[in-house]
């Protein structure tokens, strides 16, 4: 007879297979980097897309399309040659939720200096990982710290756009960005090779957290960094080489307004 974990894995795998398909892309912010062929363009516009990935999808996608236009549909070249006096005006009036034109200018300056100093976001991120590192925690921390410090006088308001594990944040948007960059398709882009799918952390938010708790894979009540690690570790038991694939089950059903069937859940345990 199958164990509860085996039954849950079979159930979640079926849901992942339903949502991890090309049809998922069109209404998701990952569609923006998918619109570019060059890996450098995908890396740059992918970061903007992930950091802005909240709020109504139609508004988000329209704003991201507007951002691509402002970058002349050459995001990597635009950022690498970004000059505040010449190019800042291209962001005039841009806003998505709490991310405004000033934030776009400061992030562009920071990314420009990262590209010139390290060559790519991938190389910078991977430089913080020791051989055999179990997770991307230090890569997330290093990327965030570098972007916040590489340009003198970076405004403190940028910290809310660049979450880091040291703050206790689940780092949902950066984890989403790493998922896009590292995992192979059809939805994710798989353009980074210095980091492996087994090292990724699930992009935890209130919706995926609710679904994970429903099936007994997450006990921690807060959707913070410790919870993201706990959920990833639970998913790693089901798939050691690619635990983050289950984000499609948690997020996909949540975005579609579905609830995971708790009859497949693990035996209940006391919450902490």
User: What is the arithmetic mean of pLDDT over 93-119?
Assistant: 98
Q: In this predicted structure, what is the pLDDT of residue 252?
A: 87
Q: Extract the tokens encoding 109.
A: 């300056």
**DSSP secondary structure letter of residue 267:** P
Domain extents in the chain: 4-264
Q: In this predicted structure, what is the pLDDT of residue 267?
A: 67
Beta carbons within 8 Å of 220's beta carbon, 6+ residues apart: 226, 227, 230, 271, 272
Dist. CA 32–CA 75, nearest whole Å: 11
pTM equals: 0.96
Confidence of residue 1 (pLDDT cuts 50, 70, 90): very low
Give the model confidence (pLDDT) of 11-64 as tens digits. Answer: 999 999 999 999 999 999 999 999 999 999 999 999 999 999 999 999 999 999
Q: Give me the residue label for tokens 């307004």.
A: 257
Q: Extract the tokens encoding 42.
A: 């995908």
Q: Give me the residue label for tokens 């040659």.
A: 81
Confidence of residue 269 (pLDDT cuts 50, 70, 90): very low
User: What is the arithmetic mean of pLDDT over 66-80?
Assistant: 98
Which among 53-57, 81-85, 263-267 has the top mean pLDDT? 81-85
Give the model confidence (pLDDT) of 144-197 as tens digits. Answer: 999 999 999 999 999 999 999 999 999 999 999 999 999 999 999 999 999 999
């Amino acid at each position: 007879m199958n164990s509860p974990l085996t039954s849950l894995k079979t159930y979640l795998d079926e849901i992942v297979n339903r949502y991890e398909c090309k049809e998922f892309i069109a209404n998701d912010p990952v569609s923006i980097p998918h619109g570019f062929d060059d890996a450098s363009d995908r890396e740059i516009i992918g970061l903007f897309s992930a950091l802005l990935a909240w709020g109504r999808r139609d508004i988000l996608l329209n704003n991201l399309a507007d951002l691509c236009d402002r970058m002349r549909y050459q995001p990597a070249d635009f950022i690498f040659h970004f000059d505040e006096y010449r190019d800042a005006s291209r962001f005039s009036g841009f806003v998505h939720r709490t991310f405004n034109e000033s934030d776009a200018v400061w992030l562009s300056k920071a990314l420009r200096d990262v590209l010139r100093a390290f060559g790519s976001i991938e190389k910078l991120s991977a430089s913080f990982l020791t051989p055999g590192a179990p997770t991307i925690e230090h890569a997330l921390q290093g990327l965030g710290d570098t972007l916040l410090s590489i340009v003198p006088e970076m405004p403190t308001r940028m910290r809310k756009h660049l979450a880091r594990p040291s703050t206790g944040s689940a780092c949902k948007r950066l984890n989403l960005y790493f998922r896009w960059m590292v995992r192979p398709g059809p939805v994710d882009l798989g353009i980074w090779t210095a980091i492996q799918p087994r090292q990724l952390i699930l992009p935890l938010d209130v919706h995926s957290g609710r679904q994970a708790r429903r099936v007994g894979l997450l006990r921690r009540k807060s959707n913070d960094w410790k919870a993201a690690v706990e959920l990833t570790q639970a998913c790693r038991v089901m798939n050691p080489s690619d635990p983050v694939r289950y984000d499609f089950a948690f997020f996909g059903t949540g975005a579609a307004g579905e609830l995971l069937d708790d009859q497949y859940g693990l035996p209940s345990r006391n919450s902490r």
